[in-house]
Amino acid sequence: MPSRLPVMPRAPKAPKAPAGARRILPLMLVAAALGVAVAGCAPVNSVENADVPKWRATAMPTTAPGAVLQDSGKILNRDPIVREAARVPAGKYMITAVCEGTGKAFFAVSLDGKPVAEAGAACNGRQETTRITLPAAGRVQVSGSSVDAPLLYAYQMAPAQ
């Protein structure tokens, strides 16, 4: 016949936390909750909320002499943004472009509807330049786009020095 133990075995008790830790833990939890709440209310610095003229003033502070075409703005989706200038003389030009966000912005240049060149800028806030040649005078279009939207962009096309 099995014997009955007079006392039921128990697991050993965990040691108690020091009294100071028991007082600090609730304060830490309240501070963490407050930090999460404040972070949720803070404005997010995003492309959608960006002040384009203010950003351009720092990203591309000067306009090149004789610039024939320039633009800045936001690319919020993959749709191209097209700007044009009529009667641009033939010659050598520099396109200076900059973008901020992720990925890369692309700028396709056409003369009277025919592709001439492509320029691009990695979205790291640094200006990049591309030399192009317009073989004849005519209407120039620059189409800015990106598959990495949203992003901020700025470019200018000016005679090469």
75 found inside a domain? yes
Question: Would you place residue 38 in the very low, low, confident or very high pLDDT band (cuts 50, 70, 90)?
Answer: very low
| pLDDT attached to residue 5 | 59
Q: Which two tokens stand for residue 103?
A: 């990925």
Q: How far apart are CA 129 and CA 95, in angstroms?
A: 5
Average pLDDT rounded to a whole number, residues 54-83: 95
122 found inside a domain? yes
CA distances to 24, 29, 40, 42 from 36, rounded to whole Å, are: 18, 11, 6, 10
- Per-residue pLDDT tens digits for 102-126: 899 999 999 999 999 999 999 999 9
1 found inside a domain? no
Domain tally, the chain = 1
The dihedrals phi and psi of 79, each to the nearest 5 degrees, come to -75, 135
Q: How far apart are CA 10 and CA 139, in angstroms?
A: 90
- Per-residue pLDDT tens digits for 21-37: 566 655 555 555 544 44
77 found inside a domain? yes
> What domain range is 96 assigned to?
52-159
Q: Is residue 84's pLDDT more than 70? A: yes
Average pLDDT rounded to a whole number, residues 75-97: 96
Q: Could you tell me the pTM of the whole model?
A: 0.71
> How many of the other CB atoms lie within 10 Å of CB of 158?
17
Q: What is the CATH number of the domain that holds 80?
A: 2.60.120.380
115 found inside a domain? yes
46 found inside a domain? no
38 found inside a domain? no
Q: Is residue 53's pLDDT more than 80? A: yes
